[in-house]
Structure 1
Amino acid sequence: MALEIGNPAPAFEAKDQQGNILKLSDFKGKKVVLYFYPKDNTPGCTAQACNLRDNYDDLLAAGYVVLGVSSDSEKSHQKFIEKQNLPFPLLADEDLKVHEAYGTWVEKSMYGRKYMGTARTTFIINEEGILEEIIEKVNTKEHTKQILK
């Protein structure tokens, strides 16, 4: 079942880059930017993370908490955060439970070869845990503008 605006956001728990378990319920009462991206330290994912980093104060001022999710390991996330000086946590979804809950683990195709990977998608979750917006056509260099529009 595809998620739709107005649906409750699927509950999740996953480890961040430090091994701390974060749950969606930890952020009740806050607006959450939950963004799924394919891979640490790749050009598009770096552009997206850095756009969110560079506009982080605007996101905080608008009341948002930012959480990134990929299937990379905690160690990979630590290196990515250090290298790019990211101020928000990245969730290591190695078992793909969060991806599957949000429908972001999908069949992709490159050069005629099919494979499974992350659909770059951002979910805006309101203070009550309801999906307020789903951004499927993410502009990695202008992502904050898509969120704050």
Structure 2
Amino acid sequence: MSTKLGRGDKAPVFELPGDQAKPCKLKSYAGKKLVLYFYPKDDTSGCTKEAIDFSALREEFDKIETAILGISPDSPVTHGKFKTKHKLNLDLASDETKAVLEAYGVWTEKSMYGRKYMGVERTTFLIGKNGKIAEIWSKVKVPGHAEAVLAAARALG
């Protein structure tokens, strides 16, 4: 069952396999801000656009000591191919068990054409240097989203 997180909550700890055969751990980002974005599937139109947008702003995020990590249920191999195909310069982590998706409350019941199924609700968390959630964007609409997250990360200081 998914948990509903809010601003000010401690970010749930995680360790997941990354796209480059290295683990992605929350504690690796200690002392930095972290944009943690959850997306449904590699190489689909919305997910590709979102990844490209975050990747394009990577240098701006770096200037304000903010890391970017995308998480989906896809495998590390799929993530690697996705990154190579679209020349992405950000880290991707694989949550095939969906444990982290559930901990962050983004593995939810969805509906399409009257059929109900479980899936990832596109959601972004901005985690402060203190390890607490500073901002949450739920049911993200991709156009302009990366820019809005960058502005929030700048404002967080």
TM-score, normalised to structure 2, is: 0.92
Listed as ranges, the gaps of 5+ residues in structure 1 are none
Asked whether the equivalents of residues 121 and 139 of structure 2 are also in contact (C-alpha less than 8 Å), the reply is: no
1: CA distance, partners of 2:109 / 2:14: 22
How far the C-alpha of 1:144 sits from its partner, in A, is 1.8
2: CA distance, partners of 1:15 / 1:33: 17
Instruction: Supply the AA of the counterpart residue of 2:145.
Output: H
Instruction: Mark the CA change 1:62 to 1:137 in structure 2 (over 3 Å): closer, same or farther.
Output: farther
**Which of these residues, 32, 50, 69, is aligned with residue 52 of structure 2?**
50
2: CA distance, partners of 1:41 / 1:23: 24
- Residues 87-111 of structure 1 show CA distances to partners (whole Å, capped at 9, x for unaligned) of 1110010011110110110000000
Is 1:13 the equivalent of 2:15?
Answer: yes
Instruction: Supply the AA of the counterpart residue of 2:66.
Output: Y
Is 1:110 the equivalent of 2:112?
Answer: yes
Q: CA RMSD in A?
A: 1.0
1: CA distance, partners of 2:115 / 2:87: 34
1: CA distance, partners of 2:90 / 2:150: 17
- Pairing of 1:132-147 with structure 2 (within 5 A): 132-147=134-149
- Pairing of 1:21-40 with structure 2 (within 5 A): 21-40=23-42
How far the C-alpha of 1:125 sits from its partner, in A, is 0.2
Question: How many residue pairs align between the two structures?
Answer: 149
Listed as ranges, the gaps of 5+ residues in structure 2 are 152-157
1: CA distance, partners of 2:28 / 2:51: 22
Where does residue 93 of structure 2 map in the other structure?
Answer: 91
- Residues 18-69 of structure 1 show CA distances to partners (whole Å, capped at 9, x for unaligned) of 2211210111100000000000000000010011111111111122100000
Tell me whether 117-126 or 137-146 shows the greater mean CA deviation: 137-146
- Large movers: runs of 4+ above 6 Å: none
Instruction: Supply the AA of the counterpart residue of 1:105.
Output: W
